[in-house]
Amino acid sequence: MTGMVVTAAVIPAVILLLCAVLARWRSSRRPPSLGVWFAPLPGSSVLYDALLWGQDRRAISAVVVDLAVNRKIRLIAQEIKGKRSTMGAEIVDGAQFTADESAVLQALFGPENSPGRVRKFSKDRVALANRLERIRDAADGRLADAGLIRRGKRRLPIVLLWFFGVGGVIATALLAIAAAVEEDDLAAALAIGSLLAVVAALAITPTAWRRFLPASDPLRAHLEGMREYIAVAEREPLRYLQSVQGAELRADVASDAELQRFLLNERLLPYAVIFGEEKSWARMLRLEGDALSRSEGVIDALAGISDLLTIIELTGGAIDLVLSLGELSDGVGGLVEGIGGLLDGL
């Protein structure tokens, strides 16, 4: 019995686990950075950068945060009731949107653009997910046209891993039962261990991934450099106290180093969303903003960011931020009211 378990369960389970680890590594492999970067490349798009980083789930949230950081929309934490809150969003007067930004807003709130009209957020999560998926698919097509990725994601290895994985769970479970019936403790232990290995393989099996072409390597290496800055600047701020030197600074504000560093880090908030660091980055920006608010002449520079940071904190992260939106008003109209409950129904 033991020999049969080794042949039919242990060896296949180990092979399946190794294949799953290889698929996970292949799907998440990224080029090394060529140094720390403090800003995205000129002309880059948050949506495209999120997809180049393989963060489809965070792409739309990053676009919404980017719109707020660039003062194109205002995200407004309206009130707090215990652990629940309502929130709203409105278009800033005179804001100009790119085609991708307009597509995201239309998918979230509908196509109406008349002044003062309140645009309601769809509560149909399936329909919303489908609309957002179409936006990501269209962006994928443009990345493929630019020669950065191959068309279509790599799915066959995932299908095969799941096919053999499900079969492996059934086979190893049956072998474990048979060994227990025959009171072969070693065979039963090996079968159970094989079962756990198959389950682990299924757990680490990635979703379908993009096949990146060599032309995308410099862009993705730049993103890795930005990720390194965000990770280290939040955890080891003393290492980057002078990080604004050499970075592209804003010419419309005073040259105060602390203010310039805050504005630099504020611009990186959408990328902190992409890298999964938005909660810690928001906390750091909150501390820096609170310190700056006691200085003179920085009110305009800090306008709007406080509510955005509050919303990220209330929603527990930017992925849930999109699901927390209620309605959107054009800036000509009054402030939206009664915007849906935070994470209502989740």
Q: What confidence score (pLDDT) does residue 277 get?
A: 87
Q: Where are the domains of the chain?
A: 2-30+155-204, 46-97+214-329
Compute the residue count for the chain.
Answer: 346
Q: What confidence score (pLDDT) does residue 223 get?
A: 94
Judging by DSSP bridges, how do beta strands 73-81 and 118-120 pair with one another? unpaired
Taking alpha carbons only, the member of 339, 323, 333 closest to residue 88 is 339
**Sign of CA pseudo-dihedral 61, 63, 64, 69:** positive
Q: What confidence score (pLDDT) does residue 63 get?
A: 92
First to last CA, the chain: 49
Taking alpha carbons only, the member of 285, 260, 321 closest to residue 65 is 321
Q: What confidence score (pLDDT) does residue 318 get?
A: 65
Q: What confidence score (pLDDT) does residue 252 get?
A: 46
Q: Is 148 helix (H, G, I), strand (E, B) or coil?
A: coil
- The answer to whether the beta carbons of residues 216 and 44 sit under 8 Å apart is no
Q: What confidence score (pLDDT) does residue 198 get?
A: 92
Q: What is the pLDDT tens value at each position of the chain, 346 positions in all?
A: 777 877 888 888 899 999 999 988 888 888 888 888 888 988 889 999 999 998 888 898 899 889 988 888 887 665 544 444 455 677 887 888 888 888 888 887 766 544 444 444 545 667 778 888 899 999 999 999 999 999 888 888 899 999 999 998 998 888 888 888 887 888 888 888 999 999 999 999 988 888 999 999 999 999 999 998 888 776 665 445 444 444 444 444 445 667 777 888 888 999 999 998 888 888 888 888 777 766 655 656 666 677 777 777 766 666 666 665 544 444 433 333 322 222 232 2
268-272 long-range Cβ contacts below 8 angstroms, 24+ apart:
268/38, 268/39, 268/226, 268/229, 268/230, 269/65, 269/69, 269/308, 270/46, 270/62, 270/63, 270/65, 270/66, 270/69, 271/40, 271/46, 271/49, 271/62, 271/223, 271/226, 271/227, 271/230, 272/230
Q: What confidence score (pLDDT) does residue 201 get?
A: 92
Rama region for 261: left / alpha / beta (φ>0; ψ in -120 to 50; rest): alpha
